[in-house]
């Protein structure tokens, strides 16, 4: 998920956080721990960048990314945008994704509560 214009590209910090899979649960867009298959986690860059929209039809343009809320809160593309709701990070894991699929977590709020609970318990374990 990067920009088609050099103006946008100059803003991008190449953090790569918009290139992780997303899960939409009612009004929330959650960022999963799993990256797009075309993303190189070492370099934090797209491996097919010039032809990304052909290779991956699900790769969004910047305008679409803003519309769907896939950028994190501190992404320069959405800085200062009024009414923009950023993607929730916290690296939703497979367990939570399964709970959502099985209908145990029904709303975005349910997912947030469960994410926070797991983050807290992970911190207590470490
Ligand atoms: S194809 Fe995947 S890795 Fe490349 S820009 Fe799009 S989402 Fe990111
Ligand atoms: S989240 Fe924003 S800054 Fe980070 S790679 Fe995506 S577009 Fe660039």
- Report pLDDT digits (tens) over 72-104: 999 999 998 998 999 998 777 788 888 888 999
Q: What is the pLDDT of residue 4?
A: 46
Considering the domain boundaries, does residue 3 fall inside one?
Answer: no
Which two three-digit tokens encode residue 106?
């029904």
The reply to whether 1 falls in a domain is no
* Domain of 45, in residue numbers: 9-125
Residue 39 CA: nearest ligand 1 atom is 3
CA 7 to centroid of ligand 1, rounded, Å: 19
Tokens of 122: 């992970």
Supply the residue whose CA is at minimum distance from atom 2 of ligand 2: 75
- Residue 12 alpha carbon, nearest atom of ligand 2: 8
2 within a domain of the structure (yes/no)? no
The pLDDT of residue 27: 85
Q: Give the integer Cα–Cα distance in Å for 7 and 46.
A: 18
Q: What are phi and psi of 86, to 5 degrees?
A: -70, 160
- Looking at ligand 2, which residue's alpha carbon is closest to its atom 6? 18
Q: Which residues line ligand 1 (CB under 6 A)?
A: 1-2, 19, 36, 38-39, 46, 48, 52, 56, 59
- The reported pLDDT for the residue numbered 1 is 56
pLDDT of residue 5: 60
Question: What pTM did the predictor assign?
Answer: 0.84
Residues of the chain with pLDDT under 70: 1-7
104 in a structural domain: yes
Query: What confidence score (pLDDT) does residue 95 get?
Result: 84
**Residue 4 domain-assigned?**
no
pLDDT value at residue 2: 46
**What spacing in Å lies between the alpha carbon of 60 and ligand 2's midpoint?**
12
* Tally of domains within the chain: 1
Task: Say what the pLDDT of residue 51 is.
Answer: 96
Indicate the DSSP class of residue 18.
G
């Amino acid at each position: 998920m990067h920009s088609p214009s050099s103006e946008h590209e100059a803003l991008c910090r190449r953090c790569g956080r918009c290139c992780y899979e997303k899960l939409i649960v009612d009004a929330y867009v959650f960022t999963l721990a799993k990256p797009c298959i075309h993303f190189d986690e070492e370099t934090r860059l797209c491996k097919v960048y010039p032809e990304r929209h052909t290779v991956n039809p699900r790769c969004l343009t910047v305008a679409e990314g803003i519309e769907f809320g896939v950028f994190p809160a501190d992404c320069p593309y959405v800085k200062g945008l009024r009414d923009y709701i950023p993607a929730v990070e916290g690296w939703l894991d497979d367990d939570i994704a399964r709970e959502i699929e099985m209908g145990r977590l029904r709303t975005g709020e349910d997912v947030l509560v469960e994410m926070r609970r797991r983050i807290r318990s992970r911190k207590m374990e470490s």
